[in-house]
Chains A and B, each alone.
Chain A
Amino acid sequence: MSTDVTAAAPPGGAPGAGPPRRTGGGIAWLLRRPGILACLIWIGLVFVASSVARLFSLGNPLEQDLGNALAGPSAAHPLGTDQLGRDVLDRLLFGGWETLLSAWLAVVIAVVLGTALGLLAGYVGGAVDTVTSWVQDILITLPTILVLLAVATVLGNDIWAAMTVLGVLMSATFIRLVRSLTVSVREELYVDAARVSGLSGARILGRHILPNAVGPVFIQGSAALGTAVVVQAGLGFLGLGAPPPYPSWGGMISEAATSISLQPWLLVPSGLMIVLTVLALNLLGDYLRDEMYAARQGRGGATQPSRRQRRAADALAAREVAEPTVDDGSAGAVLRVRDLRVSFPHDDGFVDVVSGVDLHIGAGETVGLVGESGCGKTMTGLSLLGLVPSPGVVSGYIEIDGRRVSTHDGSFAGRRGREVALISQEPMVALDPVFTVGSLMDEVLRGHGYDRAGARTRAAELLELVGIPRIEAVLRSYPHQLSGGMAQRVSIAIALAGEPRLLIADEPTTALDVTVQAEILELLRRLQADLGMALLFITHDLGVVADICTRTVVMYAGEVVEQAPVEDLFDSPRHPYSGALLAATPQVDDDHDPVGIRGVVPPPGRWPEHCRFAGRCSFATDTCRSGPAVLRPAGPDRVHRCVRSEELFDERGDVRPRRQPAPAPVEVSS
């Protein structure tokens, strides 16, 4: 859902919401995350207790009491005694020191070796990379336990040597991790920028690349520590490690096994100790990964909706909106929308990213939906397909082809593709990469009721319709074998397969070159003329609107601010935002300097009660901030949401900011 959300970012993900850094002290941060805290406490407790027990020789791990062998838990022996009557707790703590320390050794070796080799391979590339990836492949291929047993064959029973070798073997994971991180960061523009700034390779590695690897390495390291503990215990179980009578966790399980039918309890302390410690380490890694992911997404903490939010969602979805009245010009239209809202969970409630949109599109009509990013264009489009990503809630009145669509019970199923279809922005990623064009089209067409032979014929017809040459070759191709323009034509063919009455085109030409864009626009225009669909064209490019649309809807901060036939809007916009967008667009046949709009679209949740554009509008007065701005009619098929529009027109005859002719560019001194 990442791509969808950027189009209308929920609060917090929007620019200006603060850096993805934790705020407040480390302790406060921890207290808000009980899972991480619990893991840290357990690991710390085990480590401190076993270190203290070992270093200060507390307890009697070796003292035998044969008269009291295989006893269950008691006051004297909280975890019972083993077959020689030795205290299980004392033995656990005594053995824990070696287990944890040797596991720690293995992980330190793995991290240092892996990070160094990974950085080197990723940054230097070439032959170094080839050799390193070879080494890594070899290390991953070797079965850990077998190698450790082999090492023990040669070196005898030496747990520290074994764990050193384990560290080398485990470094493969870190090589792979750090290498791929380095490669992806190396491609980042900020590394290029650093290089242009004259920074040395070492400095770039240290300041720009290594810091990115610290988090993932730490997370992986936590899990690796768990693995090392298990391997160490496994070796102990097989009789390698601390020689008897000294205890090790694995050795204690092995001892417990010998008296399994006499005293099954003995399995519990040593087993649980390992399970809990490894669990804490693994969970810690998982939690930190979630935190890192959340920080990258720009929000903190859990994303599960609370119970209150779920109730709010149900209430929202159940909101009753009456059918549009006949006199708003929408009667008989293919698409009729009234008071459309799209809301996302935020804090303890919901916040709208689209709030109260009215819209209608007739057959054969092309309506352009324009506005800056973050105004809710894409969410509006997706809500008409029932494809708003998961925590989002859609409510309002939607009617497609004369039938109302319920917004909250999945009634879009069966209507998508047949009544309403979608063309999206990035043609190369919009097609399933592991199926050929032919099998994709076959599946879609079969879903629309064609038989095998019929689907094959129809697929060829559709590809011909969208102007694809060498149809047979394209049907056999995978999406990545097509050019961007071809892939977009295929997407259009797939969208047309169910002969939809309404087509939603979400920035369908933005990712394409202008010459290809011109052809795709031409194709859409021709299809529109031949098939008479209703077309909703979402774009930020006013040139594209002028080219293909018959009517324009301008959106700002989740609501419609102006709606007008395309020529009227471009000739004389009535809302200052429409005017400002026009004045900001550079023109290839015009020498005027474009005029920017100050500020940015406020993120959802921070929309004011009054006119939402007032904060950025150069004509805003106190009137604009005195109450909500409502849509007002301005001539046939025209509405706008500006309180001062008429007044401005009387005063200056225009709502556009004045544009200056470009000053003569700086002359070259001669």
Chain B
Amino acid sequence: MIRYALRRLAYSVPMLFGLASLVFVLLNALPNDIAERRAGEEASPEAIAAIRADLGLDRPLTERYWEWVTAVLTGDFGVSWHNGQSVLTGIVQTAPITLSMVVLSLVVALVIGVPIGALAATRGGLADRGLVGATVVAMAVPNFWLALVLVLFFALSMGWFPATGYVDLSASPGEWLRHLVLPVAAVATVSISVIARQTRSAMLENLGRDYVRTLRAAGVDERSVVYKHVLKNAATPVLTTFGIQFVALSGGSIIVEQVFAVPGLGQHTLTALARGDVPVVLGILVLTAAAVVVINLAVDLMNAAVNPKVRL
């Protein structure tokens, strides 16, 4: 088990490095007109050149890359081109908001999705077709549109939840939750469906396996066959979608934050985007990817704990 963990770690670290490099190159090597945009429409070529020099854009890519990598390794993601604020500080201020949305959504997706999938797999018939149909429809609904519909009904009409804003957990846990209900519902719906479908198909596949017949033939209680054996065997593919769902939910949160005017990473990104603030966008991207790598590592380790064959 420890050897497996080390092996996964040995894979993840270079992977993270590759990711960061790719992202850096993507943002720095593509032809861009950032200096022109920053200089404004009537700037002289000299002024533009001055801005380029100021931002370091005139130096060779390899040099900038080396400088950036060595800095990042010491935890320094540079400063914003816009206001000189440390990139890391900006992210640390906004990320927890988005992260709480993502984590909450992930938990919700798991808690609702797995039972729905299990129910559909074991009940069959009308219940199965109904649940599967509901997940197909749910997966077709864009989260930002769903968010608006939710706002319309539950905030504007009913007034049950606030339409916009965010309250810090430390300020008031109740208000924190109340502000997150609608955004989380909007973001998690697709994930619930994905996890439910994955659970259903993995369980159906396992229900047809020989070992299930052996257990039934040996007189093992049907509840235990389904909820202990089949579910544990089905866990591997379900857990594997977790990493992908984390990525999807991060992206979804960024859009949905706009609807609810939540001051999270999404707004931070869009602001940086509008200002052409490359270091900030780069930092956000690298740190998000790092979070995904860590989540994937955790998922792999959980998988290995559940399924001994994975450890091979």
A residues within 8 Å of B by Cβ? 1-3, 134, 137-138, 140-147, 149-156, 226, 230, 233-234, 237-238, 250, 253, 256-257, 260-261, 264, 267, 270-271, 274-276, 278-279, 282-283, 286, 382, 385, 387, 389-390, 413-418, 420-422, 424, 426, 429-435, 443-444, 447-448, 478, 480, 491, 494-495, 497-498, 504
Q: Are B255 and A282 in contact (CB under 8 A)?
A: no
Q: Are A138 and B308 in contact (CB under 8 A)?
A: no
A144 and B210 in contact (CB under 8 A), knowing A138-B15, A432-B229?
A: no
A283 and B289 in contact (CB under 8 A), knowing A274-B142, A385-B217?
A: no
Contacts of B186 in A (CB 8 A): none
A138 and B145 in contact (CB under 8 A), knowing A149-B281, A238-B258, A494-B218?
A: no
A279 to chain B, nearest CB (A): 4
Q: What does the 1/0 interface line of B205-233 toward A look like (CB < 8 Å)?
A: 00011110111111111101000110011
Chain-A contact segment, one of B29-37, B47-55, B87-95, B174-182: B29-37
Contacts of B139 in A (CB 8 A): 278, 282
Q: Are B15 and A414 in contact (CB under 8 A)?
A: no
A110 to chain B, nearest CB (A): 15
Contacts of A444 in B (CB 8 A): 215, 218-220
B19 to chain A, nearest CB (A): 5
Separation of A154 and B148 alpha carbons in the complex (Å)? 30
Chain-A contact segment, one of B60-68, B70-78, B110-118, B244-252: B244-252
Q: Are A267 and B136 in contact (CB under 8 A)?
A: no
Contacts of B301 in A (CB 8 A): none
Separation of A602 and B19 alpha carbons in the complex (Å)? 59
Q: Are B26 and A150 in contact (CB under 8 A)?
A: yes
Q: Are B293 and A141 in contact (CB under 8 A)?
A: yes
A261 and B247 in contact (CB under 8 A), knowing A137-B15, A447-B221?
A: no
Contacts of A153 in B (CB 8 A): 27, 34, 272-273, 276-278, 281
Q: List 11 A-B contacts (CB under 8 A).
A: A145-B250, A146-B251, A154-B32, A154-B276, A253-B144, A256-B148, A264-B152, A274-B145, A275-B142, A282-B136, A491-B214
B-side interface mostly: helix
B85 interface hit (Cβ, 8 Å): no
Q: Are B278 and A141 in contact (CB under 8 A)?
A: no
Contacts of A390 in B (CB 8 A): 124
A416 and B145 in contact (CB under 8 A), knowing A147-B285, A264-B152, A278-B140?
A: no
Separation of A377 and B304 alpha carbons in the complex (Å)? 39
B191 interface hit (Cβ, 8 Å): no
Separation of A388 and B283 alpha carbons in the complex (Å)? 58
Q: Are B232 and A417 in contact (CB under 8 A)?
A: no
Separation of A152 and B37 alpha carbons in the complex (Å)? 13
A226 and B140 in contact (CB under 8 A), knowing A253-B148, A257-B259, A435-B229?
A: yes
Q: Are A143 and B289 in contact (CB under 8 A)?
A: yes
How many residues on B have C-beta within 8 angstroms of the other chain's C-beta atoms?
76
Q: Are A478 and B308 in contact (CB under 8 A)?
A: yes
Contacts of B127 in A (CB 8 A): none
Q: Are B211 and A416 in contact (CB under 8 A)?
A: no
Q: Which residue of A lies closest to B30 (CB)?
A: A154
* Choice from B30, B33, B156, B272 contacting A261 with Cβ under 8 Å: B156
Separation of A267 and B69 alpha carbons in the complex (Å)? 46
Q: Are B142 and A387 in contact (CB under 8 A)?
A: no
A448 and B211 in contact (CB under 8 A), knowing A145-B254, A279-B136?
A: no
Q: Are B142 and A233 in contact (CB under 8 A)?
A: yes
B295 to chain A, nearest CB (A): 9
In the complex, chain B residues 1-22 whose Cβ is within 8 Å of any chain A Cβ: 15, 18-19, 22
B86 interface hit (Cβ, 8 Å): no
In the complex, chain B residues 178-207 whose Cβ is within 8 Å of any chain A Cβ: none
Q: Are B148 and A416 in contact (CB under 8 A)?
A: no
A498 and B137 in contact (CB under 8 A), knowing A140-B244, A153-B273, A238-B270?
A: no
Given contacts A142-B247, A155-B32, A271-B142, could you give 5 more A-B pairs where the C-beta distance is less than 8 Å?
Answer: A153-B273, A154-B32, A156-B33, A238-B270, A495-B217
A96 to chain B, nearest CB (A): 15
B23 interface hit (Cβ, 8 Å): yes
B238 interface hit (Cβ, 8 Å): no
* Choice from B142, B229, B247, B269 contacting A230 with Cβ under 8 Å: B142
* Choice from A267, A431, A435 contacting B152 with Cβ under 8 Å: A267
A241 to chain B, nearest CB (A): 13
Separation of A494 and B250 alpha carbons in the complex (Å)? 47
